[in-house]
Amino acid sequence: MSLLEVRNLRKSFGGVSAVADLSFELNSGEMLALIGPNGAGKSTCFDLLSGQLRADAGRVLLEGRDIATLPPQSIWQLGVARTFQVPAIFSSMTVRENVQMALISRHRAVWRFSRPASALFRGEADTLLAEVEMARQAERAVGVLAYGDLKRVELAIALAGSPRLLLMDEPTAGMAADARGALIGLARRLVRERGLAVLFTEHDMEVVFGAADRVLVLDRGALIAAGDPAAVRENQRVRDIYLGVE
Ligand code: ADP
Ligand code: MG
């Protein structure tokens, strides 16, 4: 059984069919790219998978269980995390404290006055920071970090929830080219080392084709191509509709 199986998913806004009859599968230890021009329906797809939006029709099966109608919090508890939309970042707190807060929330730990929060999950927080190569900046305030480093902290916060599936909608938006490759490369490593499944969107096609195991191409809500990077890159429809436009 696939970790994630999406079947005939649909979502319209008024007359606009944002996601039209979309079906695909994603396995643990797999990095899947979802690409397509602006307005293709990528973000809508992420919103449907994370519970931010309710589908008009279709099923979203997580290890066979239909999560399509669950609220975001329940989907998160089942192990589906979404990066880079993390409201719980406290800019005056340190990098480590932010990750500790995420761990406290995950474990629903009681924050006792008798025990300073700084002691809770400190070791776990440092382990996660090492995974995202931020251990040396653990004591810095989040508010002073470079943008690319902030993204790494957000990734550590997402990992604090022990996700099985990580959804990354344009994780590298606003980043310089070399930092983009580095962040996606980091996600790639987490897929390999943790057996995580990742669904991501990225504008830089070289980064997409270099990191993804498989690529899905959306156009006007519909899947127009799917396969390994080499096959998708050669697909004439993809070249016409998408890659030629870049
Ligand atoms: P992408 O992320 O691929 O750029 P989106 O999923 O954001 O595409 O948008 C897909 C289509 O759905 C677009 O035509 C967009 O205008 C429309 N759309 C997205 N969200 C809404 C919304 N909340 N209300 C109305 N239309 C929307
Ligand atoms: Mg989008």
pLDDT category, 126, cuts 50, 70, 90?
A: very high
Instruction: Answer yes or no: do 67 and 167 share one domain.
Output: yes
pLDDT score at 88: 57
Q: How many domains does the chain divide into?
A: 2
Instruction: Answer yes or no: do 239 and 167 share one domain.
Output: yes
State whether the beta carbon of 51 lies less than 6 angstroms from ligand 1: no
- The mean pLDDT value of the chain amounts to 90
Instruction: Answer yes or no: do 232 and 172 share one domain.
Output: yes
Q: How far is the CA of 59 from the centre of ligand 2 (A)?
A: 21
State whether the beta carbon of 159 lies less than 6 angstroms from ligand 1: no
State whether the beta carbon of 41 lies less than 6 angstroms from ligand 1: yes
Q: Which residue range is the domain that position 104 belongs to? A: 89-149
Atom of ligand 1 nearest to the CA of 46: 6
Report which bound ligand comes closest to the CA of 38: 1
Which of 22-26, 146-150, 175-179, 240-244 is most confident?
Answer: 22-26
124 or 115: which leads in pLDDT: 124
Instruction: Answer yes or no: do 130 and 172 share one domain.
Output: no
For residue range 73-108, list pLDDT tens digits in order. 899 989 999 986 555 577 889 999 999 988 888 877
Report which bound ligand comes closest to the CA of 218: 1
179, 52 in Cβ contact below 8 A?
Answer: no
Instruction: Supply the CATH number for residue 62's domain.
Output: 3.40.50.300
Say which residues have a Cβ less than 8 Å from residue 152's Cβ, sequence separation at least 6: 132, 133, 134, 183, 186
Percentage of residues in the chain with pLDDT exceeding 70? 91
State whether the beta carbon of 111 lies less than 6 angstroms from ligand 1: no
CB under 8 A, 24+ apart: contacts of 147-151 = 147/174, 147/175, 147/179, 148/175, 148/176, 148/179, 148/182, 148/183, 150/89, 151/84, 151/175, 151/183
Residue 220 lies in a domain: yes
* Angle, vertex CA 235, rays to CA 202 and CA 19, nearest 5: 55
For residue range 28-68, list pLDDT tens digits in order. 999 999 999 999 999 999 999 999 999 999 999 999 999 99
Instruction: Answer yes or no: do 168 and 237 share one domain.
Output: yes
Predicted TM-score (pTM) of this structure: 0.92
Residue 155 lies in a domain: no
C-alpha 67, offset from chain centre: 17
Residue 154 lies in a domain: no
Instruction: Answer yes or no: do 167 and 49 share one domain.
Output: yes
Sheet containing 16-26: give its strands across: 16-26, 4-13, 57-62, 65-66
Instruction: Write the CA distances from 222 to 2, 24, 109, 240, 244, integer angstroms.
Output: 21, 12, 43, 15, 18
Instruction: Answer yes or no: do 67 and 127 share one domain.
Output: no
For residue range 136-174, list pLDDT tens digits in order. 999 999 999 988 899 999 999 999 989 999 999 998 988
Amino acid identity for residue 18 in this structure: A
Last residue of a domain, one of 126, 149, 172: 149
State whether the beta carbon of 201 lies less than 6 angstroms from ligand 1: no
pLDDT score at 105: 82
Q: Region 3-31: what's the mean pLDDT?
A: 97
